[in-house]
Homo-oligomer: A and B are copies of this chain.
C-alpha cells in the first residue's frame, strides 16, 4: 500500500516505517486478528504465541504485558494509513481521512475502548500512543492543511493547533459509543457543513 502512494516532493517525510522485524509484525498481526475475534479481555499472550508458532518467552521478551502487546498491535495495524491522501483538493483529502478513520475505528472499536482504559492506567502506554500514533496523525493533518494553504485554498491563520483532531476525534467518539457507528454521510456532513465552512471562513484582514 505504501509504495502505491504518489509522492511529489523529495523533502517528504519518509512513509512511516515499521520499527518491527517481519516476524514481530507477524505476531502483531496475529494479535489484532485474535483481538477482533475474541476481544481484549479474552486475549492472552499464550494464545498469540501458540497461533504464531512462537515461544511464550519470545513474546514476553518483546511485550512484557498484554496491554503493551495490544497497543503495539493497534499502532502497527493502523500505521500504513498515516499517509496524506494528496488528492489535490482539501475537501477530498478530508473526506478520505474521515473514511480511513471510520474504517479503522470500525475494525478496532473494541480494541480502542480497551486501549483507552489501559492507557489511563499505564503512563508508558499513553506515551507510546502519543509518540507513535497521535503525532503521526497530527503530522498527516498538518500536511493536508499546509498543502491547501500552499494552493491558496485556505488562510494559514485558520489552522488550529488546539483542535487539530476534531475530525478523527469525533469519529472515534462515534465508534466507541455503542450503537452509532459513523458512516460516509457522517463524514460528508462533517466535512461539508462543519470543517469546510470553518476552514474557509473570512479572516480579519489585519
Given A162-B189, A163-B186, A163-B190: A113 touches B110 (CB 8 Å cut-off): no
Whether A65 sits at the interface, judged by CB under 8 Å, is no
Q: Which one of A53-61, A79-87, A140-148, A177-185 contacts B?
A: A177-185
Whether A120 sits at the interface, judged by CB under 8 Å, is yes
- In the bound complex, residues from chain B placing their C-beta under 8 Å from that of A114 are 117
B169 and A174 form a contact (CB under 8 A): yes
Distance to closest chain B CB from A179 (angstroms):
6
Q: Which one of A2-10, A13-21, A23-31, A191-199 contacts B?
A: A191-199
| Range for the number of chain A residues in contact with chain B | 35 or more
Given A117-B113, A198-B197: A186 touches B162 (CB 8 Å cut-off): yes
Residues A91-117 near B (CB distance < 8 A): 109-110, 113-114, 116-117
With both beta carbons as reference points, the residue of chain B lying nearest to A160 in the complex is identified as B189
Residues A115-170 near B (CB distance < 8 A): 116-117, 119-120, 123, 126, 129-130, 158, 160, 162-163, 166, 169-170
- In the bound complex, residues from chain B placing their C-beta under 8 Å from that of A158 are 193
A163 and B194 form a contact (CB under 8 A): yes
Given A162-B185, A174-B169, A186-B162: A120 touches B113 (CB 8 Å cut-off): yes
Whether A176 sits at the interface, judged by CB under 8 Å, is yes
Whether A172 sits at the interface, judged by CB under 8 Å, is yes
- In the bound complex, residues from chain B placing their C-beta under 8 Å from that of A123 are 178
Complex-state Cα separation, A124 to B43, whole angstroms:
24
- In the bound complex, residues from chain B placing their C-beta under 8 Å from that of A38 are none
B189 and A116 form a contact (CB under 8 A): no
Complex-state Cα separation, A195 to B193, whole angstroms:
10
Complex-state Cα separation, A190 to B194, whole angstroms:
11
Complex-state Cα separation, A172 to B163, whole angstroms:
13
- In the bound complex, residues from chain B placing their C-beta under 8 Å from that of A186 are 162-163
A116 and B160 form a contact (CB under 8 A): no
